[in-house]
Structure 1
Amino acid sequence: MHADVIIEVPFHDVDTMNVVWHGHYLKYFEIARCKLLDQFHYNYNQMRDSGFAWPVIESYVRYAQGIEFAQKIRIRAILKEWENRLKIEYQIFNAESGKRLTKGFTSQVAVDMSTREMCYQSPQVLFDCLNAWSEFKAGK
């Protein structure tokens, strides 16, 4: 399961060398992650409404090639793990040439908002959303 987002890099994301500041890559990951979560109807509002927060506990970015102002990029978010955590891998491509520019991942764990305790297994609501989405996709 994956989601793609295409954006044009805004001026306020670049440094004096016209290259995207390294911290903005995580913002681009977040944009693609939200699109992915929307596909199976368990984005941050649904997480909160179900009684869980999903903080990012780990992130990694491999900066292979700089991204510049006004460059069109495609960010792909790929759901890799969901049983005990949400692990999502990302790839950023030049939208025109298709060349991969960056890759990385984030890991998130469920926290029960009523107890503020971390869950060692993803809550049933996540599995329900994924099952409903996969059944919907299979029916198309």
Structure 2
Amino acid sequence: MHADVIIEVPFHDVDTMNVVWHGHYLKYFEIARCKLLDQFQYNYNQMRESGYAWPVIESHVRYAHGILFEQKIRVRAILKEWENRLKIEYQIFDAESGKRLTKGYTTQVAVDIETREMCFQSPQILFDRLYAWSAFQANAQ
């Protein structure tokens, strides 16, 4: 399962050399991650409503090529793990040439909002949403 977003790099994301500041890559990951979570109707509002927060506990970015002001990029978020945590991998490509510019990942864990306890297994609501999405996809084909 994956989701893609196209972003045109705004001026306020670049440094004096017109290169995207390294911290903004995580913002681009977040935009793609939200689109991915929307696909199976378990984005941050639905997470909170179900009684869980999903903080990012680990992130990694591999900067292969700089991204420039006004460059159009395609950010892909790919769901890789969900049983005990959400691990999402990301790839950033130049939207015109398709050249891969960056890759990385984030790891999130479920935390029960009421008890503030970390869950060692993803809550059932996540499995239910993923199952419903995959059944819908199978029927749509």
TM-score bracket for the superposition, by shorter chain length: over 0.9
Distance 1:51 1:131 in 2: 19
CA offsets 1:90-135 (integer angstroms, 9 cap, x no match): 0000000000000000000000001000000000000000000000
Residue 47 of structure 1 deviates from its aligned partner by: 0.1
Distance 2:114 2:138 in 1: 35
Q: Show the counterpart of 2:96.
A: 96
Q: Show the counterpart of 1:11.
A: 11
SS state of the match for residue 30, structure 1? helix
Distance 1:89 1:36 in 2: 11
Q: Which amino acid aligns with 1:109?
A: V
Q: Which amino acid aligns with 2:58?
A: E
Unaligned runs of 5+ in 1: none
Distance 2:77 2:23 in 1: 17
Distance 2:114 2:136 in 1: 31
Unaligned runs of 5+ in 2: none
* Residues paired across the two proteins, number: 140
Q: Show the counterpart of 2:30.
A: 30
Identity %: 85
SS state of the match for residue 12, structure 2? helix
Residue 68 of structure 1 deviates from its aligned partner by: 0.2
RMSD value, Cα: 0.2
Greater than 6 Å deviation, 4+ residue runs: none
Q: Show the counterpart of 2:51.
A: 51
TM-score normalised by the chain length of structure 1: 1.00
